[in-house]
Amino acid sequence: MPALTAPAIGVSCASAPAPQSLLSPAATARLTEQTRASRAAARAMNGARLGYSRPVEGTHFTSGYKQRWGRLHAGLDFAGPVGQVVRAVAPGTVTVAGPASGYGRLIEIRHPDGRFTRYGHLHRVDVEVGQRVGVAEPIGALGNAGRSTGPHLHFEVRTPAGTPVDPMPWLRERGIVPIENPAKK
């Protein structure tokens, strides 16, 4: 029996199919979607300290942590298209996933340091209570549910006791620049 040898460098083996042709069209589509998702996650983590990510990409900042309409607006608002992927900013465990007064659809995640992050006005919730999520993992989709003036993500950070804190310094301390294109006001 003759010994098997690899073709010389620069010589193609005509009988070996190209890797792409081994995949069905459905498998190729899944691989393409996985590649897109991986690249989106990489963009979300760009510049962030290890273990952190932006909550959403492709949006613009519309409102900050401040008194508004006679009460505290306890988070940041990022306007964008309905259905835009919302990601966990850090790993943790989902404590709320569904309807919540004023927020419409809400996801709340408890992180290892005891703090909570909240993601409100969602079009879709893709996680369940008790589920562990990783950094930059898709958890839902940006929407217009609840008390909302248009499609956006409402993002909050809360202490272990549940007290809201300004998310902007919290995000910056973790290397997250949440505003890609700051609105001029």
Q: Does residue 128 lie in a domain region?
A: yes
Q: What is the pTM of this model?
A: 0.74
Model confidence pLDDT, tens digit, residues 98-133 = 999 999 999 999 999 999 999 999 999 999 999 999
The residues facing 152 across adjacent strands are 79, 143
Model confidence pLDDT, tens digit, residues 124-176 = 999 999 999 999 999 999 999 999 989 999 999 999 999 999 999 999 898 88
Q: Does residue 132 lie in a domain region?
A: yes
Can you tell me the distance from the alpha carbon of 45 to that of 113, in angstroms, rounded to the nearest whole number? 19
CA dihedral angle for residue 167, residue 170, residue 174, residue 178, rounded to 10 degrees: 20
Can you tell me the distance from the alpha carbon of 126 to that of 121, in angstroms, rounded to the nearest whole number? 14
Q: Does residue 1 lie in a domain region?
A: no
- Which residue range forms the structural domain that includes residue 34? 18-185
Between 109 and 39, name the one with better pLDDT: 109
Can you read off the two tokens belonging to residue 74?
A: 């306890």
CATH of the domain at 137: 2.70.70.10
Can you tell me the distance from the alpha carbon of 86 to that of 89, in angstroms, rounded to the nearest whole number? 9
Q: Does residue 3 lie in a domain region?
A: no
Kindly give the residue spans of alpha helices, DSSP state H, lying in the chain.
Answer: 25-45, 167-173
Number of domains in the chain: 1
Q: Does residue 2 lie in a domain region?
A: no
Q: Does residue 10 lie in a domain region?
A: no
